[in-house]
A and B are shown apart, each in its own frame.
Chain A
Amino acid sequence: MFKDIIGTINSWTGAKKSRYRAKNRLQLVLAHDRAGVNPELIQKMRQEIIEVVSRYLDIDVEEMEFSIQSNDRITSLSANLPIKKIKRGNTKET
């Protein structure tokens, strides 16, 4: 458990230890394999999600992350979309 947390932190900080790189890459690739989705489909979905969300929020496109993850053989899509600022202009000018 503790090692797992360290592993995650290490992968965030881009630590060089290959064990964590291997585990992280595997988590991603297995999730994709299990979901049976192809990269183009993900790419398309990603663009459409950005499009919709951008109508309401100013998101930081550079920093965002999409990933399909698998835990205990349950697969989920997670999107991390950092918000620069909330767009107010669309509703009312103040």
Chain B
Amino acid sequence: MSRVIVITSGKGGVGKTTITANLGTAVAQLGKKVCLIDADFGLRNLDLLLGLEQRVVYTIIDALSGECTLEKAIVKDKRTPGLHLLPAAQNRTKDAITPEQMKEVIEQLSPNFDYIFVDCPAGIEMGFRNAIVAAQEALIVTTPEVAAVRDADRVVGLLESENMKSIRLIVNRLRPEMVQMDEMISVEDIMDLLVIPLIGIVPDDKRIITSSNRGEPLVLSEEESLPGMAIKNIAQRLDGVEVPYLDLMASQDTLFTRIRRFFGFSGK
């Protein structure tokens, strides 16, 4: 049986798909069997970020309509052993599938995978219902911006009323230098506001964009990067390993902050 984890946010453009692609890859790198489900019907993107767009033949809709078997619709990522993608349909609307159908699909997949990640569309309508229906766990992605945090809170409220077993927070696109200047809300601020436990912090980094240009998740790169490490750490934490949080300021340390740290002002 697999753990079914939905990646959701309320607001669009905060990094759900980026994090699904990278986190899924990172969990597969831990030796797990992973299936990523693109639940963003009509706005399918997960295949693109994984660099699998040329290999999509069938979609979840074809499997549901009996056009092909579920196994056939699943694309295997050859670069990352254990990683699989079930693509969304691009030419259908979000209501092309019901929550019951989604549940059925996930129940069928469940015995074959350790982890199933569901990339949720923006909003709180039918597409959202489909994405959360079979999940036992939710990862809430937000950025340190007022609109994203507000929408995240809405989603947390909805998930709580659906009795989601575990709800954890990923803060994406953090800019530590802005937080240090008190021009951006901090991770602590967001935790105060949303009152859900944290599982990861991903810094804002242009390498996220260049890696999506290439269709190669950043965690695949040989070269270490803070966002890559941050996502690998989330994978470990998901899998039950306690990993300390990265010092995101390290890369832009100034003499001043180093002196402050030396004298014990950790900025906390």
> Which residues from chain A sit less than 8 Å from chain B, CB to CB?
3-4, 17-20, 22-23, 25-27, 29-30, 33-34, 72-73
B185 interface neighbour in A19, A29, A33, A73, Cβ under 8 Å:
A19
* A23 B185 Cβ-Cβ under 8 A: yes
Bound state CA distance, A73 and B268, in angstroms?
23
In the assembled complex, the Cα of A29 lies from the Cα of B150 at a distance in Å of 8
Interface assignment of B186: CB less than 8 Å from any CB of chain A: yes
B146 and A34 form a contact (CB under 8 A): no
A33 touches B193 (CB 8 A): no
- The size bracket of the interface on B is 20 to 34
Mark out the residues of chain B between 177 and 194 whose CB falls within 8 Å of any chain A CB in the assembled complex: 179, 181-186, 188-189, 192-193
Shortest beta-carbon distance from A5 to chain B in Å: 13
Distance between Cα atoms of A17 and B184 in the complex (Å): 9
Q: Do B185 and A72 touch across chains, with their CB atoms under 8 A apart?
A: no
Cross-chain contact A30 with B150 (CB below 8 angstroms): yes
Query: Max chain A CB contacts within 10 Å: which of B179, B185, B186?
Result: B185
The answer for the CA separation of A28 and B146 in the assembled complex, in Å, is: 12
Contacts of A19 in B (CB 8 A): 179, 182-186, 189
Given contacts A23-B189, A23-B193, contact A18 B183 (CB under 8 A): yes
Q: Which one of B146, B149, B193, B268 contacts A3 once the chains associate, using CB atoms below 8 Å? A: B268
A19 to chain B, nearest CB (A): 4
Chain A neighbourhood of B182, CB < 8 A: 17-20
Contact between chains at B149 and A26 (CB < 8 Å): yes
